[in-house]
Amino acid sequence: MWGCAVKITPEHFEKLRTLVVPHDTPKAREGAIRRGDSDMRYRWDCLWAAKQNPWLYDTLYPYLNDDQIDTALRRIIPNLHRNQGA
């Protein structure tokens, strides 16, 4: 599961998963699709909805950048348009 491009620790990945998954709801997905949000925008909206800025800034940003965090989010949050395969 862990390729060389994924730099987040397994422990931090699981914590991130527990924070964002509750915000990935059918209602949230429907709203994002209706607004025309990108998959990336939706993933980050789920992260910000978790309201964990101190943990994010104190724990993840010291060793990860936005691209690396988004890679982890892509593994957690399915694309809005799953059948399009992007």
Token pair of 49 as six digits: 């909805």
Q: What is the pLDDT of residues 42-65, one digit of tens each?
A: 999 999 999 988 999 999 999 999
pLDDT for the residue numbered 5: 52
Q: What is the pLDDT of residues 25-40, one digit of tens each?
A: 999 999 999 999 999 9
DSSP string covering 20-86: HGGG--HHHHHHHHHHT--HHHHHHHHHHHTT-HHHIIIIITTT--HHHHHHHHHHHSPPTTGGG--
Quickly count: other Cβ atoms within 10 Å of residue 7's Cβ: 16
pLDDT for the residue numbered 9: 97
pLDDT for the residue numbered 77: 97
How do the domains of the chain map onto residue ranges?
Answer: 10-80
This prediction has a pTM of 0.84
Give me Rg for the CA atoms of the chain. Answer: 13
